Chain A
Amino acid sequence: MNTLLPLQVEDLTLVLGGETLIDGISLTMIEPGISVIMGFNGAGKSLFLRMLHGLVPQTSGSIHWAGEGSSQNMRLRQAMVFQSPVLLRRTVAANIDFALKVRGLGDVRRRDELLELVGLSDLAERPARLLSGGEQQRLALARALSCRPEVLFLDEPTANLDPASVALIEDTLKGAAADGMKIIFVTHDVGQARRLGAEIVFLHEGKVEEQSPASAFFAKPASSVAQAYLDGRIVV
């Protein structure tokens, strides 16, 4: 049971240095599962994700989770995996222990389960920063899951990773979504969006161009810019 849904975003706007980066986004997400945010570079996908997680304050508009305004306490029920994982200068196990301790969930069994889940059990005592890119991102995902979030944000977590790591991360996300977690996932990879997405939110120039079920979006996107994106055409 996901108690943070529905997510309601009303006229969300972000202006920085006189430039409107997020331009009056309004949308609703009701169901758990994986929502994929897509769009060209500079469309505002990562910024929008950070705003949903409360890391970047909006200039105007509102974000409501289950009817409540976004707050620091709300973040306790969410987690985020960044494109470049930020790992502490500690061992793999200690990175998860840190998150568990901070959230008051200190539990060695939970840590071991998560390491097993992302295939890092054998590397538990290795310094985290010596892992490969794929292993680091799997560790970042395990750390995010250790907080037992109801909503998980991922900002292009598999960009430039090896196929084995991509497959493992995707399987882990599918499992989490099946357990009722809401996953909001930014990616450039159309194939990955097809594999994972239950719905697609297509952003363009800081606005929601389209929000559709994935099957409908990939069959026939409603907007010409989304169609151009899927066709691999450049839109200037």
Chain B
Amino acid sequence: MQDMGSAFSLAFGLLLSADADLMEIIGLSLQVSLTALLISCLVGLPLGALVATCRFRGRSALLVLMNALMGLPPVVVGLIVYLYLSRAGPLGWMQLLYTPTAMIIAQTILITPIIAALSRQILEDLHEEYSEQFRSLNVPWRAEIAALLWDGRFSLVTVALAGFGRSIAEVGAVIIVGGNIDHLTRVMTTAIALETSKGDLPLALALGLVLLVIALTVNALAFVMRQAASKFAYA
């Protein structure tokens, strides 16, 4: 095992030389997490808006469930998706296990509740503020939802970034359903786990640095957007 200093210098060397293996892993990680985020937003935002604006029987139970699902253990999600996608499972015929698609499915299940629950809270506050004015204007339900989503866009982007942060840093589910196969399903987190166990610290460190940079960038983006929105009174 290398000492820390040489490991860091090798890691920077890999990053600066845009090592092909490293870039492939980073690319797949971004592809999987961004696709999962997109699907989660398409499902989670309307779901959040629906729950925020409608009153129905069982709503409180649904809220409790949505909040509870935010803390879903990734390995449990991985296991459930594995059982569904494995050859003997109900969706085994689709042959998705150990593919990036399986990883996207698992990450989508993990972050959709986060997107839905956090957006519900934001949109409910906004709805409370707009509700009487919308009723006075006789705003149709669909237009109301669209207006809430648009006017809440800066806060909702922060929600999406939180979902992205969760998915890109997640390891438990993707390692179970992806299998960490080289050149096929190896993403940053699973590669870090593997390389660390092998004692190959430079690649693990390089990937760790990239993950940290991504996390910092995501948070900085969220901060800048909130600041800009507040400055221009759109938040």
Chain A residues near B (Cβ < 8 Å): 53, 55, 72, 75-76, 78-80, 82, 86, 88-90, 98-99, 101-103, 127-130, 147
Contacts and interface: CB of A to CB of B under 8 A. Distances in A.
Interface string B134-168: 01111110010001000110000000000000000
B140 A80 contact: no
Contacts of A89: 151-152, 233-235
B233 A130 contact: yes
Contacts of A128: 233
A147 B132 contact: no
B233 A127 contact: yes
A89 B140 CA distance: 19
A47 to B, nearest CB: 13
B135 A127 contact: no
Given A127-B232, A130-B233, A88 B151 contact: yes
A119 B130 CA distance: 25
B129 A86 contact: yes
Given A75-B138, A80-B136, A147-B137, A86 B151 contact: no
A76 B235 CA distance: 29
Nearest to B132: A55
Given A102-B139, A127-B233, 10 more contacts: A55-B135, A75-B135, A88-B130, A88-B147, A88-B151, A89-B234, A89-B235, A90-B234, A102-B138, A147-B137
B70 to A, nearest CB: 26
A129 B234 CA distance: 8
B136 to A, nearest CB: 5
A89 B148 CA distance: 10
A88 to B, nearest CB: 6
B217 interface: no
Nearest to A76: B138
12 contacts: A72-B138, A75-B136, A82-B132, A82-B133, A86-B132, A86-B133, A88-B151, A89-B235, A90-B234, A102-B137, A128-B233, A129-B234
Closest 5 interchain pairs by CB? Answer: A129-B233, A86-B133, A89-B151, A127-B233, A80-B136
A79 B234 contact: no
Contacts of B132: 55, 82, 86
Nearest to B126: A89
Contacts of B235: 89
A98 B148 CA distance: 12
Contacts of A75: 135-136, 138
Contacts of B151: 88-90
Interface in B152-191: 152
Contacts of A78: 136
B159 to A, nearest CB: 16
Nearest to A50: B132
A86 B148 CA distance: 13
Given A86-B129, A88-B147, A89-B151, A99 B137 contact: yes
Nearest to B144: A102
A86 B130 contact: yes
Nearest to B229: A89
A138 to B, nearest CB: 16
Contact of A103 (B130, B137, B233): B137
Contacts of A102: 137-140, 143
A53 B136 CA distance: 8
Contacts of A103: 137-138
Contacts of B139: 102
Interface in B68-116: none
A90 B151 CA distance: 7
Nearest to A73: B138
Nearest to B140: A102
Contact of A130 (B130, B136, B232): B232
A72 B134 CA distance: 12
A11 to B, nearest CB: 24
Contacts of B152: 89
A75 B234 CA distance: 29
Q: Which of B135, B136, B143 lies at the interface centre, i.e. has the most chain A CB atoms within 10 A of its CB? A: B136
Contacts of A98: 147
A88 B233 CA distance: 10
